Structure 1
Amino acid sequence: MPVNKKTPVPNGTSNGTLNGIPKQNTKPNDTHTSSATKPRQTYFSGRFRALFALTFLGALSAAVRLSSHASGTYALCSQDGNHIYTVDANNTKVQCVVVRDSHILGTGSLSDVKGRWGTSPFLETVAQILSHSKFRVQYIPSGSIIVPGISDSHGHILEYGASQELPLEGTPTIPDTVTRVRQFILDNPDVLNDKTKWIRGGGWDHTIWPSSSWPSAAELDADPLIRGRPIVLQSKDCHALWVSAEAMKLSAPFPDAVEGGVIVRDESGQPTGVFLDNAQDLIKQPELTEDDLRRRFHLAVNHAHARGLTSIHDAGLDPMSLAFFRKQASNGVLPIRIYGMRYFNENQPYWGNTTQIIIGKDNDRLTARSVKIFADGALRTGGAALYEPYHDNPETPGFMRLDPDILFDVIPKFLRDGWQVNVHAIGDRANGLVLDAFEASLKGANVTALRPRLEHAQMMTRADMRRLGRLGVIASVQPTHAISDMWYAEDRLGPERVKLLYAFRSIIDSGAKITLGSDFPVESMNPLSAFYAAVTRVSPDGKSPHGPEGWFPEERLSRIEALRGMTIDPAYASFTEDILGSIEIGKRADLTILSQDVMSVPCNTILDTKVVATIIDGKVVYGEL
């Protein structure tokens, strides 16, 4: 008896229905029955099921296609215009960036994104069931911007971590510095109760002290709580150590002289407790433990993420540091990209032809394919090698930290064996000698394949600036050094030579490529400090020796030059411009979201900018979306 349309039948009854849908009659003796005599519900149910099957299969196919790119796929968009700086070749600005897993899938307007990657609610639901995720659009806070993940082209990761354990930055006098050391001892019971425990700190700056003179071990040991403890305090520029009498006692005896370094002595010839440049190696500190390194590393990385950094060029990995980074990488994905420069020791045999180059690929974030060579010291400590004596110390023109012949010997060897060569050079003489060595080594070479770098390139003659551009050598510069050094630079160099110091605009106009960094912990790790210094050349409170327009304002960079110097230029300087440095399809999804548009806000508000989020490989490592 067919079901009456007006008579509801419970689901699951034995009247020939299954969940309210009539069963098909499959008995052999029913084959002669015409379709016209079949129950009406059976006919329409069959058509409905066929139609539903086709629709579902179509939806399933669409959902599979959607889920194939929806898993881990999202768009970041600004609601009120194009506030994403792609830093592509045309410096394009867009409204949205689409991220799929660890890569950039596309860019465009909000309507473009929704049209290409959005879909109907039904398909989204099916895709979500299949892939446990769905495509979503996330709006960034009003007024904020997105830039490519920011890189620091010159920093020191483990040294930064160490400097934060006992920070001495900004202490106005020697007694204030000693007081901070004393307080550190009191605040750490394990140090207080063990006088043999070495105490390390960093950041003191004698150029801001009233006397501008070197400190001494006697001033540390004048405090009875400090006396008798081994203490090593690194200077702000990392080119000097101030140590206690106990640290000297444990490191003695000392040679009469040190090539490429200075032991500061009193009138009787006794060491006072300050060791410059290569002489720093004379202090025999105990080996750092794995816990020491791990603590410093995580402290530095956490600070880097909070400041929007996704990549750091670590400028001078000693064997211990490199071994630590390799171990961390082998235990899992590093929390930040590290482009390491292996430390060169001129007293050891050449190793460029026997040491393996490390090139990070895919999820391997550690690369070590360059070597770092020190040519001279630092301007702050009077160790930069100049052509003429210092204006405020006519007895010396500074010094080279190695024999220039070594540059002409090892640079071509490293280049031949596939290493990028990065040379620390501060003074005009040091930069000139390094460029001489590069010029001799690069004859007939493909400089784009080698990409040699001058680390700091602080001061050079006009002729050498032009030679820098002609040779294709990259200038790795630190704008925050300029606004730190501008207060004493003219005293040290005189009114004419000082014009050649931190001449960023002149370097770019010479045709040279630049890349920006901070040299942390020497300067602030905050990349916006470098951005601010590059475009203003004034102190954070708006001052300079030349007034509010900036110290030699003609050497300022434009904002787009500064942004490129923190994104695509560091990528080029580390051979990663094909995967990093700009927001383009196929590149790794490294992004930094800033709270305001540093490309347009008044200069005096740039440093008010906060980091909203830091994203590496599509995942938020700081902040939230």
Structure 2
Amino acid sequence: MRLDTLIHNAQIVTGDPNRPTASRIGMWQGLIVGLDEQLDPLLAGPDAAAPAQVFDAAGACIVAGFNDVHAHSVWFGQTLIEIDLAEAKTPDDVYAAIASRINSFERGDWVICSNFNPLQMTGSVDRDRLDTVALGRPVLIKHRSGHAYTVNGVALSLAGVEDRPTEQPEGGEIVTDETGRATGLLDENAMRAVQDLLQPEALEPVADALAAASQHYLTEGLTSVTDAGIAGGWIGHTPREFAAYQLAADRGLLKHRSQTMITMDALHELPGHTNDPSARGLDAGIRSGVGDARLQIGPVKVFTDGSLLGATAAMTEEYAHCQHNHGYMQGDPETMRANVIDAAGAGWALALHAIGDAAIDFAIETITQARRIHGPGPLPDRIEHGGVVRDDQITLMANQNIVLVPQPYFISVFGEGMFHNLGPDRATLSYPARRLLDAGMILPGSSDRPVAHGAPLAVIQAFAQRLTEAGNPYGINDRITVAEALHAYTVGSARATGWGHKKGTLASGYLADLVVLGAHPLHVNVAEVAHIPIVATMVGGVIEYGQLDAH
């Protein structure tokens, strides 16, 4: 065997407890062949041949490729193209951002803005001012939470929303002012009225968005990403969304490894033999696990409640500053439970979005019941987010081997607002990490990008610091070390997605996905971790970003 690639003179963090560090790594046909002395027979034996390419890492740190198990790749790719409101602090900032780009839109085009964070705003965006600044065009402002839109009067009219609505959608709200007039804020399922006008989106621009996202991922060392909901719901873009993934992959534009969750409302009742269980799925019985290491269908994604940012997550106790408001579920709980159980009957792994502790109660009970009837799924069952998680719930999840997928970077950008909504006691239960590890659970790395910043090193730093945007400590009982956070973004993520046997660890037989870092994350101050440069990103033994010195 002639190695395709040899990297030497490196500080390799393997993620393998039996061999935690190494200095050399060899690759062949996209796989890791060995480390250090394991390579000697190939390099120094009587039949040895020089590797096709040899790289000197010059002492750089190498880790397994980062793996974000909960992001939204199409949505993120679109934010790289749409009007960016990430820095908008006042309504005038919003109007100015739109005005600066308005001449690039044809009359009648939708003016779409992304990354809007109402928690950092002083004042509210006015629907009538949006009408004026957009020169009669419909305006759609996507909130970073993904759980709300702000639109102007033109958009409301096109969507068929009455100026003074008399009915509200189930699991959502058309927000009105004190006179009963629609403000332009659409929460949760109320967003569907606008989405029905804009979707389904064409496959070509969806594939283009994926390409933009994929290229960006490489610059941050991301080699694997799970898209947490495609083909339906308010996060889907077209019922053919997986075909857009295939299109991007066929064109060589999908540089990272992708796992996609299909949303529950994209599934339907499946007929079958009388001996088959009641099932909800896709035609032909396609289910979780279809695909390969490059592109795979993951769990079914189920929305059970809302968000902490909008105080719509379902809580067992009322919000600290919203008297009598406990949030709400996204639909009738028993209907949701029946659908989840039928999806499990069709062979789907389960991924239930649950942020409030009442929703987490529902998710644990539902996953447990589905397993009792149908047994474990083909991939790990998961609960996404965990905005408020009680200790008794962690015990139940640990006993059931349910994976909880928290997003610690939420604390860095939304912490002050979440603390205000939850109060000091429940903030200590928010987006856990230390408590999960202490309970023996899998802890993966994730961002929910573009809801929050998605660079893995920044999220790793947030895992360890747990500081709000104002620099205040937030739930410090759940702090973990940088080493544990690095393990989460590699080994933990691989296990959470059902790939712990093939990636996330730098060891013989594993996929040759790795990242070369400009500094060792375990040797710098924790406050500097997010600023470590990405020297190179390698997927399947191929350098897809950056460079190393070859000889």
Residues 257-293 of structure 1: per-residue CA shift (max 9 Å, x gap): 1111111112232211110111110114334333422
Aligned to 2:235: none
Aligned partner (choices 200, 214, 218) of residue 305 of structure 1:
218
Aligned to 1:3: none
Following TM superposition, by how much is the alpha carbon of 1:352 offset from its aligned partner in structure 2, in angstroms? 2.0
Following TM superposition, by how much is the alpha carbon of 1:119 offset from its aligned partner in structure 2, in angstroms? 4.7
Cα 1:498/1:346, change in 2 over 3 Å: farther
SS in 2 for 1:464: helix
Aligned to 1:606: 529
Aligned partner (choices 195, 201, 215) of residue 107 of structure 2:
195
Residues 6-53 of structure 1: per-residue CA shift (max 9 Å, x gap): xxxxxxxxxxxxxxxxxxxxxxxxxxxxxxxxxxxxxxxxxxxxxxxx
Contact 1:483 1:533 in 2 (8 A): yes
Matched residue type, 1:185: I
Residue 317 (1) aligns with residue 230 (2): yes
Aligned to 1:263: 174
Matched residue type, 2:181: Q
Cα 1:299/1:333, change in 2 over 3 Å: closer
Aligned to 2:130: 220
Matched residue type, 2:57: I
Residues 451-477 of structure 1: per-residue CA shift (max 9 Å, x gap): 210010121222112111111100111
Following TM superposition, by how much is the alpha carbon of 1:333 offset from its aligned partner in structure 2, in angstroms? 7.8
Pick 1 or 2: higher relative contact order, CA cutoff 8 A, min separation 6. Answer: 2
What percent identity do the matched residue pairs reach?
25
- Structure 1 Cα separation of the partners of residues 197 and 101 of structure 2: 19
Cα 1:323/1:270, change in 2 over 3 Å: farther
Residues 371-395 of structure 1: per-residue CA shift (max 9 Å, x gap): 0000001000111111122111114
- Structure 1 Cα separation of the partners of residues 115 and 532 of structure 2: 25
**Deviation larger for 278-287 or 327-336:** 327-336
SS in 2 for 1:242: strand
Contact 1:407 1:437 in 2 (8 A): no
Following TM superposition, by how much is the alpha carbon of 1:565 offset from its aligned partner in structure 2, in angstroms? 1.1
Aligned to 2:274: none
Contact 1:343 1:372 in 2 (8 A): yes
Structure number with larger C-alpha Rg: 1
- In structure 1, the gaps of 5 or more residues are 1-67, 129-133
- Structure 1 Cα separation of the partners of residues 58 and 333 of structure 2: 54
Contact 1:216 1:242 in 2 (8 A): no
- In structure 2, the gaps of 5 or more residues are 232-238, 270-278
Aligned to 1:32: none
SS in 1 for 2:312: coil
- Structure 2 Cα separation of the partners of residues 492 and 253 of structure 1: 29
Following TM superposition, by how much is the alpha carbon of 1:488 offset from its aligned partner in structure 2, in angstroms? 2.1
> TM-score w.r.t. structure 2 length?
0.90
Residue 240 (1) aligns with residue 165 (2): no
Contact 1:415 1:450 in 2 (8 A): no
- Structure 2 Cα separation of the partners of residues 345 and 97 of structure 1: 45
Cα 1:439/1:504, change in 2 over 3 Å: same
Matched residue type, 1:198: W
Q: Within 5 A, what are the aligned runs for 1:327-406?
A: 327-331=247-251, 334-345=254-265, 349=269, 351-352=280-281, 354=283, 355-357=285-287, 359=289, 365-406=294-335
Aligned to 2:2: 69
- Structure 1 Cα separation of the partners of residues 471 and 432 of structure 2: 16
Contact 2:65 2:224 in 1 (8 A): yes
Aligned to 1:281: 192
- Structure 2 Cα separation of the partners of residues 581 and 268 of structure 1: 55
- Structure 1 Cα separation of the partners of residues 439 and 47 of structure 2: 57
- Structure 2 Cα separation of the partners of residues 393 and 508 of structure 1: 33
Q: Within 5 A, what are the aligned runs for 1:81-92?
A: 83-90=11-18, 92=20
Aligned to 2:61: 145
SS in 1 for 2:366: helix
- Structure 2 Cα separation of the partners of residues 272 and 605 of structure 1: 42
SS in 1 for 2:384: strand
- Structure 2 Cα separation of the partners of residues 563 and 461 of structure 1: 25
SS in 1 for 2:84: coil
Q: Within 5 A, what are the aligned runs for 1:530-541?
A: 530-538=459-467
Contact 1:346 1:402 in 2 (8 A): no
Contact 1:117 1:135 in 2 (8 A): no
Residues 539-597 of structure 1: per-residue CA shift (max 9 Å, x gap): 58xx6324xxxx23221112222112111221112211121111111111111111110
Aligned partner (choices 461, 472, 485) of residue 545 of structure 1:
472
Following TM superposition, by how much is the alpha carbon of 1:513 offset from its aligned partner in structure 2, in angstroms? 1.9
Residues 291-341 of structure 1: per-residue CA shift (max 9 Å, x gap): 422331221111101111001000001123222113333555842211100
**Deviation larger for 341-350 or 155-164:** 341-350
Q: Within 5 A, what are the aligned runs for 1:127-166?
A: 134-142=51-59, 144-165=60-81, 166=83
- Structure 2 Cα separation of the partners of residues 383 and 135 of structure 1: 56
Cα 1:537/1:175, change in 2 over 3 Å: same
Aligned to 1:250: 158
Following TM superposition, by how much is the alpha carbon of 1:486 offset from its aligned partner in structure 2, in angstroms? 2.0
Aligned to 1:494: 423
Aligned to 2:42: 117
Aligned to 2:273: none
Residues 490-540 of structure 1: per-residue CA shift (max 9 Å, x gap): 321122222211232123223322212011001112111110000111258
Contact 1:454 1:475 in 2 (8 A): yes
Matched residue type, 1:118: L
RMSD, aligned α-carbons: 2.4
Contact 1:198 1:229 in 2 (8 A): yes
Aligned partner (choices 420, 429, 433) of residue 358 of structure 2:
429
**Deviation larger for 288-297 or 530-539:** 288-297
SS in 2 for 1:285: helix
Following TM superposition, by how much is the alpha carbon of 1:89 offset from its aligned partner in structure 2, in angstroms? 3.7
Aligned to 2:118: 206
Following TM superposition, by how much is the alpha carbon of 1:184 offset from its aligned partner in structure 2, in angstroms? 2.0
- Structure 1 Cα separation of the partners of residues 187 and 130 of structure 2: 18
Matched residue type, 2:42: W
Residues 333-359 of structure 1: per-residue CA shift (max 9 Å, x gap): 842211100011299646327441364
Contact 1:154 1:312 in 2 (8 A): yes
Cα 1:174/1:503, change in 2 over 3 Å: same
Aligned to 1:557: 480
Contact 1:429 1:460 in 2 (8 A): no
Residue 108 (1) aligns with residue 36 (2): yes
Cα 1:236/1:167, change in 2 over 3 Å: same
Contact 2:428 2:476 in 1 (8 A): no
Matched residues, number: 525
> TM-score w.r.t. structure 1 length?
0.79
Cα 1:136/1:338, change in 2 over 3 Å: closer
Q: Within 5 A, what are the aligned runs for 1:475-494?
A: 475-494=404-423
Aligned to 1:581: 504
Residues 393-414 of structure 1: per-residue CA shift (max 9 Å, x gap): 1141111112111232122222
Residue 517 (1) aligns with residue 435 (2): no
Matched residue type, 1:441: A
- Structure 1 Cα separation of the partners of residues 8 and 36 of structure 2: 9
Contact 2:113 2:140 in 1 (8 A): yes
SS in 2 for 1:298: helix
Aligned to 1:93: 21
Aligned to 1:28: none
SS in 1 for 2:247: helix
Contact 1:447 1:472 in 2 (8 A): no
Contact 1:239 1:276 in 2 (8 A): yes
Cα 1:493/1:470, change in 2 over 3 Å: same
